[in-house]
Amino acid sequence: LEATPSAPSEPVDGVASAPVPLGIEAEIEEVLLHRVRPGVQADGGDVQLLRWEPLAGEVVLRLQGACRGCPQSAVTLQETILKALQHFVPQVRSVRSEEEPHDLGAAAENPSADLSWVHEGAPDPDGIKALTAAGTPFFSTFAGMKVEGPKLRRVQFLSRLELAGRTPEHIFVSCPECKAKRTIEDPQDLMRRDKGNITGNAAVVICPSCCVLITP
C-alpha cells in the first residue's frame, strides 16, 4: 500500500492554498471530523491528524487541549479513536500520539500560554506536612477533587512551580521517574480565595507519591 498524494490546490489571488488530502488520509480526516472530534471537543480537548503512515497502517495524531497529558488519553486513543478509525477505514492497524514541542519563547511572550513542567520531585514529607498544616489544599488531576486522609499521607515527593504572574490555561506535567503525564487545567481556579483557598497556592497530586506545588 502506497501513500496517496494530495490533490494540487488552485491558487487564490496568486497564493496557493493547503493541499487537499485524497484517499485513505481523506477518509481518516473525515472520521476524525465527524466521529471523533465532537466528543473530544465536548470534554475540552481536540485531535489533529499529523500523518498517515501507510506501510505500518499507523495513524499519528496530536492530542490538544484537555486531552494533552490527560491520564485517560491512552484509553481514548485505543478504545475510542482506534476503534472508530478501524470501523470506517479498515486499513488502519494502529494509532499513536506525538506531543507538540513546548515553545519556550511563546510562553515567555504570552503570560497566558500553556506551560510544560517536568516534575523532578525531591523527598519532602516534612514540607508536605507543613503545607497541609498551613491549609494548602491538595487536589487530584481528576476534576479538581481534593486529596485527603490516607491518600495524602502517601504523598512524599514534591516539586515547586512558581507561575510568577503567568496565567496558563493548562500545565502539562511529566515525571521522568514514573513516566506519568498529567494535565492541570485552569490552575488559577485552584488558588482562588473566594473558593476557600486561604493560602493562595495549591498542590496537585500527579501520582500516589508525588505532587506539584503551584504558587502565583
Distance from C-alpha of 38 to C-alpha of 82, rounded to nearest angstrom = 15
What's the mean pLDDT in 75-97?
A: 90
pLDDT the model gives residue 2:
38
Asked whether the predicted pLDDT for residue 16 surpasses 50, the reply is: no
Asked whether the predicted pLDDT for residue 15 surpasses 50, the reply is: no
- With vertex at residue 39, the alpha carbon angle to CA 33 and CA 41, rounded to the nearest 5 degrees, is 80
Distance from C-alpha of 191 to C-alpha of 185, rounded to nearest angstrom = 12
- Which pLDDT band holds residue 180 (cuts at 50, 70, 90)? confident
Residue in the structure block whose three cell numbers are 491528524: 49
Q: Which three cell numbers stand for residue 7?
A: 490533490
Q: What percent of the chain has pLDDT over 90?
A: 45
> Is-contact 44 36, C-beta < 8 A?
no
Q: Which three cell numbers stand for residue 45?
A: 480537548
* Range of lowest pLDDT (44-48, 90-94, 140-144, 184-188): 140-144
* Longest CA pairwise span in the chain (Å): 66
Distance from C-alpha of 97 to C-alpha of 79, rounded to nearest angstrom = 14
- Which pLDDT band holds residue 86 (cuts at 50, 70, 90)? very high
Q: Which three cell numbers stand for residue 169?
A: 490555561
